[in-house]
């Protein structure tokens, strides 16, 4: 259920607070547009969890071989000293 926004009232309140006509109308338009934005454009918790899992997998895929290589390089350098 979507609530209707009384844009005239919002413009009136903004003008009473010191906004110019143009400023009040622009702010009201932005507020209206943000309220009318579809819920499908919002990110869900499950989407974020899935993205984080993918990121962790990619991070491990790159970091693990680098860490192993660093340990091997360090061990080789220690032997040379």
Q: What is the pLDDT of residues 24-81, one digit of tens each?
A: 999 999 988 888 776 667 788 898 999 999 999 999 999 999 999 999 999 999 999 8
Q: Name the pTM for this structure.
A: 0.45
Q: Which residues contact 55 (CB under 8 A, 6 or more apart)?
A: none
What's the CA gap between 25 and 17, in Å, rounded? 13
- Torsion angle of the four alpha carbons 10, 16, 17, 23, in this order, in degrees rounded to the nearest 10: 60
pLDDT at 40: 66
Q: Does the pLDDT of residue 13 top 70, yes or no? A: yes
pLDDT at 3: 67
Q: Where are the domains of the chain?
A: 1-42, 43-81
pLDDT at 24: 95
């Amino acid at each position: 259920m979507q609530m209707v926004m009384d844009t005239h009232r919002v413009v009136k309140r903004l003008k009473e607070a010191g906004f110019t006509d143009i400023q009040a109308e622009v702010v009201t338009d932005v507020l209206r547009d943000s309220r009318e934005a579809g819920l499908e454009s919002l990110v869900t918790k499950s989407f974020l969890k899935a993205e984080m899992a993918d990121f962790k997998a990619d991070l491990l895929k790159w970091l693990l071989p680098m860490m192993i290589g660093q340990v091997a390089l360090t061990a080789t350098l220690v032997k040379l000293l």
